[in-house]
Structure 1
Amino acid sequence: MSARPAHGTAADAMDAAGPRVWEDMTVEVALSLMAAARTDHLMVCDEDGLGTGLVTRAGLTAARDGSGYTDRIRLRDIAGGIGPFPRR
C-alpha cells in the first residue's frame, strides 16, 4: 500500500511538472530545455518564482509554427499558451 494521498498535493503537482522556467524565457529556449530534459512540459513561474501554469511541447511547437512567430516571442507573449495546472 502507498502512503501517498489519493488526490495528490500541490507539491506533487509541482514535482510532476518538470523543470521550472520563467515567463520571460523565449519559446526557442524552452523547447531546447524540454529536449535536453526529455520532458513534454515545463512549469512556468512568475517573477516571484510562483508557478503560474504549464506549457507543453505541442503548445510551443504550434506557437513557433504560427505565422506571427519570431525568435523574440517569450512564454508570457503566447496568448492562451500557458495552461493551468492539471487537476489530480
Structure 2
Amino acid sequence: MSYQYPISHDWKIDEIVDVIKFFGCVEKAYEGGVERNSLINAYKRFKEIVPSKSEEKKICGEFEETTGYSSYKIIKKAMESEAIQKIKG
C-alpha cells in the first residue's frame, strides 16, 4: 500500500523508526498475523514516545483513517489474549 504514517516532526529519528515499527506490527496483524510479544513491545515503545492519551488517539486515528486498520482494536485484543501467541485483525 502507498500511504504516509502519521509522524511528528518533533520526534528524533529513532523515535520515528520505532513508531513506524509499531504501525508495521498493526499492519501485519491485519494482513496475516503478528507475534503478540512483538506487537506489545512495539506498543510499549510507542507509548514512551507518545505518552499522552489524546495524542495517541489523534495519531492512531490518522493511521486508521489512512489505512483502515485500528491499532486500538489490535492492542486491546493482544492485551486480553495472553494465551494467543499470534494476533490477527
TM bin (shorter chain): 0.3 to 0.5
Structure exhibiting the larger radius of gyration computed from Cα positions: 1
Structure number with higher helix proportion: 2
> TM-score, normalized by length of structure 1?
0.38
> TM-score, normalized by length of structure 2?
0.38
Structure number with higher strand proportion: 1
